[in-house]
C-alpha cells in the first residue's frame, strides 16, 4: 500500500504516553474519530486503570493504560502517536526506524534538521542525529503533499504553529524588511500536566510574566519553517528570516495569542495584505482569515477547537524607515490546533481523509 493511499476500514491507532494533556486530547479526539479504532494507550503511570479513571471527561472507552514497551506498542497498528516528553522520544530512534506503522511525534525531538540547534535549545546532544531531517514537518498548510506521502511526521509546537500561520503569507509575498518581532501569550496547559512553581494556579491566575525571552525552544523551529517557505517562494528584496520572540505566561488554561510585528514595503496596502492571506490559505480549511477590520483574533473564539484565527492591523508609512508597520494577530488552542488536534489533522492527510475528519467541532463559548 502506498503511503498516501486511504486505509481500508478503520485504521488501528496506538498512543504511546497517554496520561499527559497531549495524550488526553489525543484520546478525546481519536476515541470518537469515525475512521480509526483506538486500540492501545501506553503509560508508565496508572497502569491497568481505565482511561476514563484518569481523564474523567471521557465516557467509557473500554481501554486501560498499558505498560507496554514502545517496540511492542508499535506492532499490529497502522498509526502510532508519540505523546512523550521532549528528549524521551529522541531515544527511540531504532524502534522508530524499524516499525512499519506511520509515526506522528508530538515532541520537539525530530522537528529540527540542525543537530547543533537541537543541542543549543533542548540542552542535550541528540542521541540519533542521523534521523534529523527524516521526519516531515507536520504543518499541513505548508507541507500537505509531503505529509500525504510520508510515514514519519514531526508535529509542530504550539507557539510555532500560531506564529508561523500568522507570518507565512508575508514571507510568501516577499515582504520582510527586517526581523520578525513576536510577543505571544500562552495558557498553563502548555507547561504540561504536572505543576511547577511557574504554573501553580494560585500564582499563575493572578500573574503575567515573560520567560525564555529570545531563547524559547520553538525559535529555531519557526525560523526553519519560515526559511523553508522563503526558499519555496523566493522574492527579491526580502530580508533574511530572523525571529525575536518573547513568550508570555498568561492566567488562562488554554490558548495562545500571538502578535507579530513586521516591517513591509511602503507600497503594501490593505488590499495587498488581504490578497496575501487569501492566496496562502484558500485551501486551508482550518484557518479562519478574519481580515484587517474590527474583528480580531482572540483566544475565546478558538477554545477547544481546531480553528486557527488570523487578523492584522496595517499602519501608515513610517517616514523614518520608508516602510509600513504590520501587526499580525493569531490565536489557537494550544492543545488542539497547537497540539494533539494538529497531529490528528496530519494523520487524516496521511490516510487520504479530509483535514477536519473527527476534529471539526465548533469552539467552546465562552
Q: Give backbone dihedrals phi and psi of 65, rounded to 5 degrees, phi first.
A: -70, 130
- Residue 343, classified by CB atoms within 10 Å of its CB into exposed (0-12), middle (13-18) or buried (19+), is buried
Q: State the pTM of this model.
A: 0.95
Could you say which of 158, 185, 256, 344 is catalytic? 158
User: Where does the pLDDT of residue 4 fall: very low under 50, low under 70, confident under 90, or very high at 90 and above?
Assistant: very low
Q: Give backbone dihedrals phi and psi of 242, rounded to 5 degrees, phi first.
A: -145, 130
The C-alpha cell that represents 297 in the structure block: 483574533
The C-alpha cell that represents 95 in the structure block: 524502534
Percentage, residues of the chain above pLDDT 70: 97
Residue 166 has pLDDT above 50, yes or no: yes
User: Where does the pLDDT of residue 285 fall: very low under 50, low under 70, confident under 90, or very high at 90 and above?
Assistant: very high
Sheet holding 308-318, edge to edge: 209-210, 243-249, 180-186, 256-265, 323-332, 308-318, 287-291
Residue 5 has pLDDT above 60, yes or no: no
pLDDT for residue 203? 86
pLDDT for residue 198? 72
pLDDT for residue 190? 76
What CATH code would you report for 159-332? Answer: 3.30.360.10
Query: How far, in whole angstroms, is CA 29 from its chain's centroid?
Result: 16
Q: List, for residues 35-75, the tens digit of each pLDDT value.
A: 999 999 999 999 999 999 999 999 899 999 999 999 999 99
User: Where does the pLDDT of residue 216 fall: very low under 50, low under 70, confident under 90, or very high at 90 and above?
Assistant: very high
Listing DSSP states for 175-189 in one string gives ---S-EEEEEEE-GG
User: Where does the pLDDT of residue 202 fall: very low under 50, low under 70, confident under 90, or very high at 90 and above?
Assistant: confident
- The ranges assigned to domains in the chain are 11-155+339-350, 159-332
- CATH fold, domain 11-155+339-350, is Rossmann fold (3.40.50)
CA distances, 35 to each of 229, 253, 354 (Å): 32, 30, 11
- Active site annotation includes 158: yes
Q: List, for residues 222-255, the tens digit of each pLDDT value.
A: 999 999 999 999 999 999 999 999 999 999 999 9
Q: What is the mean pLDDT of residues 262-284?
A: 98
pLDDT for residue 194? 67
19/201 Cα distance (integer angstroms): 20
Amino acid at each position: 500500500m502506498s503511503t498516501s493511499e486511504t486505509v481500508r476500514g478503520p485504521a488501528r491507532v496506538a498512543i504511546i504516553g497517554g496520561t499527559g494533556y497531549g495524550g488526553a486530547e489525543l484520546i478525546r479526539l481519536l476515541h470518537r474519530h469515525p475512521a480509526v479504532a483506538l486500540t492501545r494507550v501506553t503509560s508508565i503511570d496508572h497502569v491497568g486503570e481505565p482511561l476514563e479513571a484518569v481523564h474523567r471527561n471521557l465516557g467509557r472507552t473500554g481501554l486501560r493504560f498499558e505498560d507496554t514497551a514502545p517496540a511492542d506498542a508499535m506492532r499490529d497498528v497502522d498509526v502510532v502517536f508519540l505523546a512523550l516528553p521532549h528528549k524521551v522520544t529522541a531515544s527511540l530512534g531504532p524502534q522508530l526506524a524499524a516499525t512499519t506503522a506511520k509515526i506522528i511525534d508530538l515532541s520537539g525531538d525530530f522537528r529540527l534538521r540542525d543537530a547543533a540547534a537541537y543541542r543549543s535549545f533542548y540542552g542535550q546532544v541528540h542521541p540519533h542525529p542521523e534521523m534529523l531531517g527524516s521526519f516531515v514537518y507536520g504543518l499541513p498548510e505548508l507541507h500537505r503533499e509531503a505529509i500525504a506521502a510520508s510515514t514519519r511526521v514531526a508535529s509542530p509546537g504550539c507557539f510555532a504553529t500560531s506564529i508561523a500561520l500568522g507570518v507565512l503569507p508575508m514571507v510568501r509575498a516577499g515582504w520582510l524588511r527586517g526581523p520578525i518581532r513576536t510577543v505571544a501569550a500562552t495558557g498553563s496547559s502548555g507547561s504540561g500536566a504536572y505543576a511547577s512553581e511557574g504554573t501553580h494556579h494560585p500564582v499563575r491566575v493572578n500573574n503575567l510574566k515573560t520567560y525564555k525571552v529570545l531563547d524559547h525552544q520553538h525559535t529555531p523551529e519557526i525560523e526553519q519553517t519560515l526559511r523553508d517557505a522563503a526558499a519555496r517562494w523566493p522574492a527579491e528584496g526580502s530580508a533574511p528570516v530572523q525571529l525575536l520572540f518573547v513568550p508570555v505566561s498568561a492566567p488562562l488554561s488554554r490558548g495562545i495569542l500571538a502578535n507579530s510585528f513586521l516591517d513591509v514595503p511602503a507600497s503594501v496596502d490593505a488590499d495587498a495584505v488581504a490578497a496575501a492571506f487569501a492566496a496562502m490559505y484558500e485551501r486551508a480549511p482550518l484557518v479562519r482569515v478574519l481580515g484587517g477590520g474590527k474583528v480580531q483574533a482572540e483566544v475565546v473564539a478558538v477554545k477547544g477547537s481546531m480553528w486557527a484565527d488570523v487578523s492584522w492591523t496595517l499602519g501608515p508609512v513610517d517616514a523614518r524607515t520608508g516602510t509600513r508597520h504590520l501587526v499580525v494577530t493569531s490565536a489557537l488552542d494550544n492543545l488542539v490546533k497547537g497540539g494533539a488536534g494538529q497531529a490528528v489533522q496530519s494523520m487524516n492527510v496521511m490516510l487520504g481523509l479530509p483535514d477536519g475528519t473527527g476534529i471539526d467541532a465548533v469552539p467552546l463559548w465562552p
